[in-house]
């Protein structure tokens, strides 16, 4: 692949909240984009950390022992095994980094579980 990936263009193609789009791979990891609005589900990823980077908007990563507030250009890594619940009061665009095949709802499952669509 000899083309740059434009994150804004990839985000423009995301039409459903909480749906993830894989835009690149780094070794065994996927770089994904998503748009969030509202509260997701409480879940954990037992075997992996999860990186959230806010591109636009504001994101609260709810944790059982306190919330992490993120604005544009800020990132937070949820350690593996830590229960968390993303919350976006307004539409928020994010970039995620996690191992390939990681389910968006982790151990929770349910109707919001979706496989990432390949974008780039």
What is the total count of domains within the chain?
Answer: 1
Q: Are 42 and 108 in contact (CB under 8 A)?
A: yes
pLDDT tens-place string over residues 35-94: 999 999 898 989 999 999 999 999 999 999 999 999 999 999 999 999 999 999 999 999
The whole-model pTM stands at 0.86
Q: Are 100 and 25 in contact (CB under 8 A)?
A: yes
Residue numbers of the domain that contains 60: 20-118
β-pairing, 68-70 vs 59-63, is antiparallel
pLDDT tens-place string over residues 10-42: 999 999 999 889 999 999 999 999 999 999 989
CATH assignment at residue 109: 2.60.120.10
10 is a domain residue: no
Tokens of 4: 């740059």
């Amino acid at each position: 692949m000899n083309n740059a990936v434009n994150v804004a263009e990839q985000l423009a193609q995301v039409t459903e909240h909480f749906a993830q789009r894989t835009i690149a791979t780094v070794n065994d990891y996927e770089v994904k984009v998503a748009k969030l609005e509202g509260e997701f589900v409480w879940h954990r990823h037992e075997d992996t950390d999860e990186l959230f980077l806010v591109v636009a908007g504001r994101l609260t990563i709810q944790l059982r022992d306190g919330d992490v507030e993120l604005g544009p250009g800020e990132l937070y890594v949820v350690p593996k095994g830590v229960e968390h619940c993303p919350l976006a009061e307004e539409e928020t665009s994010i970039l995620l980094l996690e191992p390939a095949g990681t389910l968006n709802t982790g151990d929770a499952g349910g109707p919001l579980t979706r496989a990432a669509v390949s974008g780039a």
